[in-house]
Amino acid sequence: MLKTRVIPCLLLKNAGLVKTFKFKDPKYLGDPINTVKIFNDSGVDELTFLDITATIENRRPNFQFLSQIASECFMPLGYGGAIKTFEDIEELLNIGIEKAIINSEAVEKPEFIKEAAEKFGSSTIVISIDVKKSLFGKYEVYTHSGKKATKLDPTEFAKKMEDHGAGELLLNSIDRDGMMKGYDLELLEKVSKAVTIPVIACGGAGNLNDFSEAVSKTHVSAVAAGSLFVFQGPHKAVLINFPTEEELEHIFDK
């Protein structure tokens, strides 16, 4: 049977590992390379790295640094942050990162997604969709690390990206980011029901039951989390951790 993928979503800022709260106040956690080694040993399903300042600082992905990370990673690996050209994607594939996660550029140049999916195959192209809920309960897509509103509806945007050949969607709730109070199930269901490509839930997981709830109550195919895998205890002490295979089997079997 196909396992439900459980994916640590790790944020990078200036070659350091950080964790944000509602996409703000990045807290420094430590050295990403060490973190990767710990996740390697724990047999993690997949890793996602997002460089949260690459786009807003208008710079290219830090390939040299990513290459160091990738050489320690023997699991599926995705990277997002300022991917704008075919050369960027080629460079990622060359260093051993097989999923290019695209956010701002997907909104600004949707044609790029179409061309990239044709050139590299859909499975290489992951669209991350960052969503904020307005006071009136309306969902809206944001880019540039949550700083730029787009007026786009996440469900419509998701369908468009699927049409353009995206292979997967990383659906992130800005409001839930770092809160550890559970996923926005309404958002997850709206989007995952509307597309046939896999949707990865992100933003808000606070315990393992949040994973099983997302999978059983919505159509998401995989679950991602940040805080849960890097913090421990009520005071959020930094501790890199990942559930054992048995723990994961247990929560998804329920």
Partner 1 sequence: MIVIVNYGVGNLGSIENMIKKAGAKAEISSDVKTIEYAEKLVLPGVGAFDNGMQHLTDSGLIPILTKKVIEEKTPLLGICLGMQLMGVKSEEGKLSGLGWIDAEAIKFRFEPGSKLKVPHMGWNRIYPKQNSYIFNDMYKEPRFYFVHGYYMKCNKVENVLAETHFGSDFSSAIIKDNIVGTQFHPEKSHKFGLKLMQNFIND
Catalytic positions, please? 130
Would you say 28 or 74 has its CB closer to partner 1? 74
241 binds partner 1 (CB under 8 A): no
Burial of 53 (0-12, 13-18, 19+ CB in 10 A): middle
Would you say 12 or 116 has its CB closer to partner 1? 116
Per-residue contact flags (x/-) with partner 1 for residues 164 to 203, judged by CB under 8 A: ---xx---------------------------xxx-----
DSSP state of 124: G
CA-wise closest residue to 47 among 103, 107, 101, 2 = 101
3 binds partner 1 (CB under 8 A): yes
Beta bridge partners of 8: 225
86 binds partner 1 (CB under 8 A): no
Q: How many CB atoms lie within 10 A of CB 16?
A: 13
Per-residue contact flags (x/-) with partner 1 for residues 126 to 165, judged by CB under 8 A: ----------------------------------------
Q: How far apart are CA 119 and CA 99, in angstroms?
A: 13
CA-wise closest residue to 161 among 145, 146, 141, 177 = 141
Would you say 232 or 241 has its CB closer to partner 1? 241
Q: Which stretch binds partner 1 (CB under 8 A): 25-33, 54-62, 90-98, 175-183?
A: 90-98
Q: Which residue in the block uniquely carries the two structure tokens 């997981």?
A: 205
Which residues between 65 and 84 bind partner 1 (CB under 8 A)? Answer: 67, 70-71, 73-77
H-state helical runs in 81-135: 86-95, 104-108, 110-120
In the Cβ-directed half-sphere of 37, how many Cα atoms lie within 13 Å?
A: 5
Residues that bind partner 1 (CB under 8 A): 1-5, 40, 43, 45-46, 67, 70-71, 73-77, 93-98, 120-124, 167-168, 196-198, 221-222
